[in-house]
A and B are shown apart, each in its own frame.
Chain A
Amino acid sequence: MFELLAQTGLNAAYAASYISLVAVGLVLIFGVMGVINFAHGELFMAGSYVVVALYADRMVPFFVAVVAGLIFVGILGLIMERALFRPLRDNPLGGLVASIGFLLILQALAVLGFGVRMEYVPPLTQDVIVFADKISIPVARLYVIIAAVVMLSALWYFLKRTRFGWALRASAQDPEAAALQGISVTQTAMIAMFIGAGFAGLAGALTAPLVSVNPHMGHTIIVTAFIVIIVGGVGSLEGAVVASVVYAFVHTFVTTFYDGVLADITGLSLMLIVLIVKPTGLFGSADRA
């Protein structure tokens, strides 16, 4: 029993890593620009397809492909900012609707470029680390965990210790006051969009060999990300990370001991309960939204 619990815990840690990368990006975008990016799951999908195109089809080294995924999806984010969110800055519902449009376009492009089939991405490594004879973790999953911890720490450092980070947080808290201090709202929006989208792309790229890559994979991701940001509190980065861990553990344990559909229902119910009892989430303040 202990082995099973420990094993499930490790699996949950892996899930928590990539979920938190996605959710933190979504929260960052919402915090700075005030729009909910419905296309975030498709940005994740785009990251996966970069790895399919470079690593699986053209033999580019995996980590180069992952970095390319981060940058490519980051640029997609910049395009979204420039073309959609900047003109719709005064229309939050408009930004959301436009992101739904962008989602459809990305999905259709993936179908046109790669077909609806599932892509085969050869595993990076088959190595498995085994603890105490029973508990094992594939090295490929370990990479995801390490990358998530490194990138989230880097983001934390960036936000709390650099001038750009201060500017970003200032314009998230109060765009007008920040603008009066000479902070360019446009510039911070671009940085937030690049990081937010790039993190989703990174998560998609890293997990490409471990999940089934297909044009519609973004749906599960965005549902999960919504649950996480609601439970954590919309606009709270710490909340998103904590909620990712909570959600990943609950979901993985219910999947292991019951079944996947029930786990999805549990996750959604968790979100509904938080929405009913404390709509600002576990860490949220009542200010925004």
Chain B
Amino acid sequence: MRNFLIWAVVAVALIILPNLVSFSQQEVLVFLTINILVVASYRLLTLTGEWSLGHVVIMGVGAYASALVTKELGLWVPLGILVGGASAAFIAFLLSYPLFRMKGFYFLIGSFAAGEIIRLLWKRFRDPFGGAKGIKGIDPMPDFSIGIYQFDFFEPVSYFYFSAVVVALCLWILWRIEKSPVGLTFHAVHWQDKLAQASGVNLRSYRTLAFVIASGFAGIAGALLAHYIGTINPNSFDVEVMVFVLTWAIVGGTGTFYGPILGCIVLTILNEIVLRELGLEQTRPLIYGLILILSILFMPNGLESIVQKFTRRKEAK
């Protein structure tokens, strides 16, 4: 009952929040929900101990797929988003054959290479990917009404509600997966791989499963992004974006489910409120770089370690 109340308060707060902020901050909220899904899905992959540098490109696969099926085939947009997720998962499944012959550092570099190849293919083939200019005029979400609220997707507020619901649903699924026996096996694959193998766990198929699921959700995030901004190109998914995702995850800490999400929210607030208000947009990479270095040096477990310190202290009292 208490939990239900907390979630109800959170839901009400999320419904009110976008009405209190400016237009550009409403847009930031939309991006924030999408980015949360990206880092949360990234964490599922890191559960098995593998760090990929191709996650953002996989997200791009979802964006391109959804943009193409809705634009060229006229598919209904919500279905297109699902197709985006499925395509990203499928591409990840194909990539898992070469990539999971590698581990650790080699996997990192291999995933980077695979991602760059995909990105260069988008650049090279103007038909159907639109070359370096990408795809423009992607169909927006069709407006609809649920009785009490009229969704008008020209308004960022409406898209925020829509993406918040989709993302919340995805996060719930990711959470259920992590707490299921499959999720526990992911942990085992990372921390006790020899023991897990000796107990009959097929390490490779579990790594693949984590990679495919994480990629599917990244694809959904990419599709949400594509239908919101309406235009995507190969540079929307380059390694710079990947570095941001990595920063969110590391600053937040990947030890817990909420760690990366916390990192994403805190850094977005820092970025949008502090940097933009102070007019320090250009120094954003500088500050991100410093934060990344300082957090790996002094807070290797991320922001979540601070949260845990506080909650533990409370329990001790």
Taking Cβ atoms with an 8 Å cutoff, the residues of A that contact B are 36, 83-84, 87-88, 91-94, 96-98, 100-105, 107-109, 111-112, 219, 223, 226-227, 230, 234, 261-262, 264-265, 268-269, 271-272, 275-276, 279, 289
Q: Any chain A CB within 8 A of the CB of B124?
A: yes
Chain B residues 62 to 119 lying within 8 A of chain A, measured CB to CB, are 98, 101-102, 104-106, 108-110, 112-114, 116-117
Asked if B120 contacts A268 (CB within 8 A), the reply is yes
Asked if A230 contacts B109 (CB within 8 A), the reply is yes
Taking Cβ atoms with an 8 Å cutoff, the residues of B that contact A are 51, 98, 101-102, 104-106, 108-110, 112-114, 116-117, 120-121, 123-124, 239, 243, 246, 250, 282-286, 288-293, 296-297, 300
Tell which of A83, A93, A226, A272 has the most Cβ of chain B within 10 Å. A272
Given contacts A100-B243, A219-B239, contact A261 B123 (CB under 8 A): yes
Asked if B102 contacts A101 (CB within 8 A), the reply is no
Asked if B102 contacts A93 (CB within 8 A), the reply is no
Tell which of A105, A109, A111, A289 has the most Cβ of chain B within 10 Å. A105
Contacts of A262 in B (CB 8 A): 124
What number of A-B contacts does a CB cutoff of 8 Å give?
Answer: 109
Asked if A272 contacts B117 (CB within 8 A), the reply is yes
Asked if A268 contacts B117 (CB within 8 A), the reply is yes
- Complex-state Cα separation, A75 to B140, whole angstroms: 52
Asked if A108 contacts B296 (CB within 8 A), the reply is no
Asked if B106 contacts A275 (CB within 8 A), the reply is yes
- Residue pairs across A and B with Cβ atoms less than 8 A apart, 29 shown, are A83-B293, A91-B296, A94-B296, A94-B297, A96-B108, A97-B292, A98-B292, A100-B289, A101-B291, A104-B243, A105-B290, A105-B293, A108-B285, A108-B289, A112-B283, A230-B109, A261-B123, A264-B116, A265-B120, A265-B124, A268-B113, A268-B117, A275-B106, A275-B110, A275-B113, A276-B102, A279-B101, A279-B106, A289-B106
- With both chains docked as a complex, state the minimum distance between the C-beta of A116 and any C-beta of chain B, in angstroms: 9
- With both chains docked as a complex, state the minimum distance between the C-beta of A234 and any C-beta of chain B, in angstroms: 8
Given contacts A108-B285, A272-B117, contact A98 B105 (CB under 8 A): no
Q: Which residue from chain A places its CB closest to the CB of B105 in the assembled complex? A: A289
- Complex-state Cα separation, A83 to B297, whole angstroms: 9
- With both chains docked as a complex, state the minimum distance between the C-beta of B230 and any C-beta of chain A, in angstroms: 25
Asked if A103 contacts B289 (CB within 8 A), the reply is yes
Contacts of A92 in B (CB 8 A): 105
Asked if B117 contacts A101 (CB within 8 A), the reply is no
- With both chains docked as a complex, state the minimum distance between the C-beta of B103 and any C-beta of chain A, in angstroms: 9
The binding surface of chain A is classed by DSSP as helix
Asked if A261 contacts B124 (CB within 8 A), the reply is yes
Given contacts A108-B286, A112-B282, contact A275 B116 (CB under 8 A): no
- With both chains docked as a complex, state the minimum distance between the C-beta of A171 and any C-beta of chain B, in angstroms: 20
Asked if A226 contacts B109 (CB within 8 A), the reply is yes
Asked if B114 contacts A272 (CB within 8 A), the reply is yes
Contacts of B116 in A (CB 8 A): 223, 264, 268
With A112-B283, A272-B117 already in contact, 13 other A-B pairs whose C-beta atoms are closer than 8 Å: A88-B297, A93-B51, A97-B296, A100-B243, A100-B246, A103-B289, A104-B285, A105-B290, A108-B286, A111-B285, A264-B120, A265-B117, A289-B106
Tell which of B109, B239, B243 has the most Cβ of chain A within 10 Å. B109
- Complex-state Cα separation, A101 to B284, whole angstroms: 12
- Complex-state Cα separation, A289 to B102, whole angstroms: 12
- With both chains docked as a complex, state the minimum distance between the C-beta of B289 and any C-beta of chain A, in angstroms: 3
- Complex-state Cα separation, A276 to B114, whole angstroms: 12
Asked if A104 contacts B288 (CB within 8 A), the reply is yes
- With both chains docked as a complex, state the minimum distance between the C-beta of A113 and any C-beta of chain B, in angstroms: 11
- Complex-state Cα separation, A219 to B285, whole angstroms: 15
- Complex-state Cα separation, A87 to B296, whole angstroms: 10
- Complex-state Cα separation, A219 to B235, whole angstroms: 13
- With both chains docked as a complex, state the minimum distance between the C-beta of A85 and any C-beta of chain B, in angstroms: 11
Q: Which residue from chain A places its CB closest to the CB of B95 in the assembled complex? A: A272
Contacts of B123 in A (CB 8 A): 261
Tell which of A91, A104, A109, A262 has the most Cβ of chain B within 10 Å. A104
- Complex-state Cα separation, A98 to B300, whole angstroms: 11
- With both chains docked as a complex, state the minimum distance between the C-beta of A219 and any C-beta of chain B, in angstroms: 7
Contact of B282 among A108, A265, A272 (CB under 8 A): A108
Q: Which residue from chain A places its CB closest to the CB of B250 in the assembled complex? A: A97
Asked if B98 contacts A272 (CB within 8 A), the reply is yes
| Nearest 8 pairs of A and B residues by beta carbon | A104-B289, A101-B292, A108-B286, A101-B293, A105-B289, A108-B285, A101-B289, A104-B285
- Complex-state Cα separation, A275 to B98, whole angstroms: 8
Contacts of B112 in A (CB 8 A): 226
